[in-house]
Amino acid sequence: MMTGGLRVPFVPTPELVVRRMLTLANVKPGELVYDLGAGDGRVLSSAARDFAARAVGVELHASRYTDILERVKRERLTDRVKIIRGDFFRISLTDADVVTLYLLSSVNRMIRPKLERELKPGTRVVSHDFLIRGWTPLRSEKVRDQYGTHMVYLYQAPSSFINRPVHHRHRPNHISPIMNNLPWLLRERRNGLNIANQKPAQRSLG
């Protein structure tokens, strides 16, 4: 997925982590969940199917956008799930109740001002593996699956916008699956993200 001139790797969030993210965010029936960089649509599907929420997925990659459309039709969720093909930096989030993220730290840093401008009070933001630097999570949890340990960070507007040190009950001592499987993606430069030209084979986590 490419957005704002950046390239963000597609690594599916394990279903166990998806459910924990939405549970931690306390998603309620009828609430509106935005997934930024919707990948294969599994967050949208779970939000609508398991939590009776409405969901909006933003995905720029053409084939993944098509795959999500087909998934939503196949699972008969078209009345509760909307897919936008576009750059999430250009999509308004003012009506979101929950925003889910699985981006890089550099992208979280870039989108933070947009979230601070647009999110209404009480909106929850839940990020898989990567902190939003400058924000204070309400909660952080470890989730373990067959691939290793994942971190889930829960934030809320505007209380999390206060910059305080982050304290973990247990200091994270894990390698994120995205780092473990795609270390070549994490060579960051000051002006953006530098992606190595040669890709290793991708292993799906889903």
At residue 146 the predicted structure's pLDDT band, cuts being 50, 70 and 90, is: confident
* H or E element that contains 34: strand 32-36
The tokens of 204 are what?
A: 């799906």
When comparing pLDDT for 123 and 162, which is higher? 123
DSSP state of 90: G
pLDDT value for 12: 87
Q: What domain count does the chain have?
A: 1
Strands 81-84 and 54-58: parallel
Structural domain span for residue 183 = 2-193
Q: For the segment 171-197, what is each residue's pLDDT rounded down to a tens digit? A: 444 444 444 444 434 443 333 343 333
How confident is the model over 30-38, as a mean pLDDT?
96
Q: Is residue 46 part of a domain?
A: yes
Asked if 6 contacts 106 with a C-beta cutoff of 8 angstroms, the reply is: yes
CATH code, domain carrying 84 = 3.40.50.150
